[in-house]
Amino acid sequence: MSVNRRQVMAGAGTAGLGFALAGAVEAVFAGTANAGTPAAFKGYGELVPDPKKVVDLPKGFSYSVFSRAGKDTLDGPGGGLVPASHDGMRAFPAGAGRSVLVRNHELSPGTKDPIVPQRPGLVYDPAAPGGTTTLAVAGDRLLRHIPSLAGTYRNCAGGGTPWNTWLSCEETEATPATEAVLTKRHGYVFEVDPFGRLHDAAPVPLAALGRFAHEAVAVDPRDGTLYLTEDAAKPYGLVYRFQPKRPNGGPGSLRAGGKLQALQVPAVRDLSAVRDLGTRLSVTWVDVPDPDATTVSVRAQFDNAKVTRVPKAEGIFWSRGVIYLVSSYAKTSDGAALDHSGQVWRFDPKRATLELVLRLEVGGRFDGPDNITVSPFGGIVLCEDGDGENYLVAPSADGTPHPLARNAGSDSEWAGATFSADGKWLYANIQGDGLTVAITGPWWRG
């Protein structure tokens, strides 16, 4: 029965909705096989004001809203309201025209917002309010949504695996010693399987992936290597590489452990120091002495000369043999080398090079990119978490950012953008408003 409690697609639920995993492992990554911003892309045009004041979109695009925090009720035993603070998310293929979404909830102890219901078999630490919900959708139609991980702390972003599971990241280093209300140490990655192949009695932290303020994860399906970002300061966070003992081993395989290493770009101590697009840097990796941060934070275990730090290291995504990496912003007043309002880097694992492909200048229209995804039709989509109005942004190949959508209802951030495998739907969250939206339109037009 633990599987039925933990997973939305388990048991009778799967049969009743007609969802199947067969063939989906290849499909989730095949969707980005030909990705990469097309050279001719010049944006989708300016945005048309939404009369409902929810989402402004280009002409020809439309949206639907579903799974509203604090308003809609979850399915399954115990019910409960949809939890607040929607964040990172991934769409997994589940049959023709259907997807399963796994969605993070970035909640901290003491919140007065609806928390992830702590149903039996889901809970890591009963004092922590965060976790994930899993949603079955057909296009823009919600079929079912239930909690799938609970009792975790500030689940920010994460990433999908080649074996169709979601790695949910805790963006914290809190322990019972630093916050007395807690009963367990936090700052881990947890694996959530929307297809019911894990049979755990309780969530299992993936300690070998490190205990730090995790932001996001990307997996290179060719060799199973994981790349992880850390959103932290004093000192700034790092980018990590994890080489598992059981690469591409399927659900639960990351528990076997592996080697965690930190990024080093010789002679560059802070990536914000790089200004020119097209700058290409050689990369090496340094072993992490104590991944579980027993007494010292992982990022503080290194002298600055031994690693390369990244102000506001945020989203990370694998596509077409490369890893895209986001730095949300940098401020010299906070100790950064140079000011910027966002960077996107492209890392080539085979060549061990890092190239700057987007830089947002301070004072421009766009700022604060956070989560990142890649369209099956080509091109990057960024979720803004900036000052003032926030956009979904689609940059062109020359590094020019273009608007894709605007939050017309508030100044809350976008998060969790993810495409259905067939490329028809872009799912995304508006965090502060507690909305998940489905956007469709002529994606190929750009």
CB-based contacts of 105: which residues, under 8 Å, 6+ apart?
Answer: 83, 84, 85, 86, 87, 115, 116, 129, 130, 131, 132, 133, 155
The one-letter code for the residue type at 183 is T
Q: Buried (b) or exposed (e) across 328-365, using 16+ Cβ within 10 A?
A: bbbeeeeebbbbbbbbbbbbebeeeebbbbbbbeeeee
CB-based contacts of 28: which residues, under 8 Å, 6+ apart?
Answer: 92, 93, 160, 162, 164, 421
In the three-class reduction of DSSP (H, G, I as helix; E, B as strand; rest coil), residue 298 is classed as helix
Averaged pLDDT, 127-133:
98
| pTM for the model | 0.93
Determine the pLDDT at residue 40: 80
In the three-class reduction of DSSP (H, G, I as helix; E, B as strand; rest coil), residue 246 is classed as coil
Determine the pLDDT at residue 27: 31
Whether residue 291 is preceded by a cis peptide bond, meaning omega within 30 degrees of 0, is no
β-strands 189-192, 214-219 pairing? unpaired
Beta strands in 342-425 (DSSP E): 343-348, 353-359, 369-374, 380-384, 391-393, 403-407, 414-419
Distance CA 317, CA 325 (A): 7
Least confident of 3-12, 108-117, 152-161: 3-12
pLDDT tens, position by position, 192-244: 999 999 999 999 999 999 999 999 999 999 999 999 999 999 999 999 999 99
Distance CA 361, CA 241 (A): 29
The kind and range of the H/E element at 28 are helix 24-30
pLDDT tens, position by position, 370-423: 999 998 877 899 999 999 999 999 999 899 999 999 999 999 999 999 999 999
Determine the pLDDT at residue 377: 77
Q: At 107, is the pLDDT very low, low, confident or very high (cuts 50, 70, 90)?
A: very high
Is the pLDDT confidence value at 120 over 80? Answer: yes
Distance CA 425, CA 439 (A): 6
Determine the pLDDT at residue 6: 38
pLDDT tens, position by position, 418-441: 999 999 999 999 999 999 999 999
pLDDT tens, position by position, 268-290: 999 999 999 999 999 999 999 99
172, 154 contact by CB (below 8 A): yes
Q: At 38, is the pLDDT very low, low, confident or very high (cuts 50, 70, 90)?
A: low
Distance CA 340, CA 326 (A): 12
CB-based contacts of 121: which residues, under 8 Å, 6+ apart?
Answer: 1, 2, 5, 6, 200, 201, 202
Determine the pLDDT at residue 21: 45
Per-residue DSSP letters for 361-373? PTTSS---EEEEE
Determine the pLDDT at residue 29: 33
Residue with tokens 């030909």: 34
pLDDT tens, position by position, 9-18: 433 233 233 3
